[in-house]
């Protein structure tokens, strides 16, 4: 006899919750989950394969539990005077966030987020038994220093989530807002910078605020700029004491030898990998310009995707695009859809389809 969740002794606080639900459909043009759709350059791929092959020869042994070489490589990549002792890594930034919540959240503790934002922040929060509370944003999906202080004072959180650039809106996060949040709270401030490489080059990262702020944690990922979504490598920069806290909750040997080898090899080619970023930013800006011409209202974005409004029936447009082999994201934001910036060919396919849909073709 089939059973359901209602038949199982599930935790009460998980009843009625929904798992992460981005559609997984095999289509020619997948622009719905903010992947870097550019293929990894052949010479880089070859180096990664050779590095993984070498690691396989020692896969009978446990990996370096402290992933020393990877931390060294990530510190060098980030710069800002960071040392390996200030770096942590895990299987995607989601696992990094989960470890943060395990260490600093939990029953009786509260995390503050600012929707619309990355859905996994609230899912992971609730999954660790932490209370999730929501703060309001300003006009245009921004968060001013005054707003973040007001919401922190109202909710008294143990953890504050800030996402910059924000997902799913692409909205910039002013560094003054991060400073104000840190000064206003007694707890941890997490700045999720998954899309940092797509920001304007002259805009400072929250990494610049780390000195003297032991409760500030800045998370990143290799999934986006490095086209490494399938490898699952996320990382964090913070005070060494915060890194020690994560050791208390991580599973032993949580990063496999193969993952470490692949990530270190990719970081050896950082310049070549990041060359893709300029092309993606160009396609993103092209999407913004063309959607405006078509009468839609794209929001300003510092990421590799575009949230656009002015869509009378988002579900109908989603389905029409799907009929053409193109998938975007319907986030249930009224009148809006989100599209990732793909290759030139993928972007052209999307924009041509949107033009036809607008014209009723």
Query: Does position 21 have pLDDT exceeding 80, yes or no?
Result: no
State residue 360's pLDDT score: 74
**CA separation for the pair 182, 120 (Å, rounded):** 22
Strand partners, 339: 306
Give yes or no for a cis peptide into 136 (omega within 30° of 0).
no
Length in residues, the chain: 361
**CA separation for the pair 197, 281 (Å, rounded):** 10
- Alpha carbon 316 to its chain centroid, in Å, reads 27
Write out pLDDT tens, residues 288-326. 999 999 999 999 999 999 999 999 999 999 999 999 999
Write out pLDDT tens, residues 73-111. 999 999 999 999 999 999 999 999 999 999 999 999 999
Q: Which long-range contacts (CB under 8 A, 24 or more apart) does 85-88 make?
A: 85/240, 85/243, 86/210, 86/237, 86/238, 86/239, 86/240, 86/243, 87/235, 87/236, 87/237, 87/243, 88/235, 88/236, 88/237, 88/238, 88/243, 88/246
Question: Which runs of E-coded beta strand occur in 254-309?
Answer: 297-298, 305-309
State residue 22's pLDDT score: 67
**CA separation for the pair 167, 276 (Å, rounded):** 20
**CA separation for the pair 228, 35 (Å, rounded):** 9
State residue 20's pLDDT score: 75
Handedness of CA 88, 93, 96, 101 (dihedral sign): positive
pTM for this structure? 0.93
**CA separation for the pair 46, 272 (Å, rounded):** 14
Percent of the chain with pLDDT over 70: 98
Q: What is the mean pLDDT of the chain?
A: 95
**CA separation for the pair 100, 153 (Å, rounded):** 22
**CA separation for the pair 191, 195 (Å, rounded):** 11
Structure tokens at 248: 């208390």
Write out pLDDT tens, residues 173-211. 999 999 999 999 999 999 999 999 999 999 999 999 999
**CA separation for the pair 361, 357 (Å, rounded):** 6
Domains of the chain: 23-40+272-359 (3.90.1150.10), 42-268 (3.40.640.10)
**CA separation for the pair 99, 101 (Å, rounded):** 5
Inter-CA distances, 204 with 17, 31, 242, 271, 284, Å: 37, 28, 22, 19, 21
Average pLDDT over residues 264-277: 93
Residue 10's pLDDT band (cuts 50, 70, 90): confident
State residue 2's pLDDT score: 60
Average pLDDT over residues 125-135: 97
Structure tokens at 26: 């095999």
Q: Are strands 234-237 and 87-90 parallel, antiparallel or unpaired?
A: antiparallel
Residue 1's pLDDT band (cuts 50, 70, 90): low
Query: Does position 145 have pLDDT exceeding 80, yes or no?
Result: yes
Structure tokens at 25: 């459909």
């Amino acid at each position: 006899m089939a059973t359901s969740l209602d038949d199982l002794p599930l935790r009460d606080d998980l009843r009625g919750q929904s798992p992460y639900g981005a559609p997984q459909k095999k289509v020619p043009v997948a622009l719905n989950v903010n992947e870097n759709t550019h293929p990894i350059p052949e010479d880089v791929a070859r180096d990664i394969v050779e590095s993984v092959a070498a690691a396989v020869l020692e896969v009978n042994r446990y990996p370096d539990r402290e992933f020393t070489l990877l931390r060294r490589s990530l510190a060098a990549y980030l710069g800002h005077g960071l040392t390996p002792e200030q770096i942590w890594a895990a299987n995607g930034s989601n696992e990094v966030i989960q470890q943060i919540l395990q260490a600093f959240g939990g029953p009786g503790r509260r995390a503050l987020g600012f929707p619309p934002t990355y859905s996994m922040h609230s899912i992971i929060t609730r999954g660790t038994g932490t209370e999730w509370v929501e703060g309001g944003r300003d006009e245009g999906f921004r968060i001013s220093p005054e707003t973040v202080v007001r919401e922190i004072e109202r909710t008294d959180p143990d953890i504050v989530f800030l996402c910059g650039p924000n997902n799913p809106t692409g909205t910039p996060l002013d560094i003054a807002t991060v400073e104000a949040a840190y000064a206003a709270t007694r707890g941890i401030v997490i700045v999720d910078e998954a899309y940092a490489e797509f920001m304007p080059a002259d805009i400072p990262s929250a990494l610049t605020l780390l000195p003297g702020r032991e409760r500030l944690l800045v998370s990143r990922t290799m999934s986006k700029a490095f086209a490494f979504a399938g490898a699952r490598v996320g990382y964090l920069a913070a005070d060494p004491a915060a890194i020690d806290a994560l050791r208390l909750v991580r599973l032993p040997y949580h990063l496999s030898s193969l993952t470490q080898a692949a990530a270190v090899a990719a970081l050896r080619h950082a310049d070549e990998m990041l060359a893709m970023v300029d092309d993606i930013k160009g396609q993103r800006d092209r999407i913004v310009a063309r959607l405006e011409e078509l009468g839609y209202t794209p929001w300003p974005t510092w990421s590799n995707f575009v949230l656009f409004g002015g869509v009378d029936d988002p579900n109908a447009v989603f389905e029409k695009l799907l009929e053409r082999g193109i998938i975007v994201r319907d986030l249930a934001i009224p009148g809006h859809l989100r599209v990732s910036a793909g290759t030139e060919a993928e972007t052209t396919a999307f924009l041509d389809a949107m033009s036809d849909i607008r014209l009723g073709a």
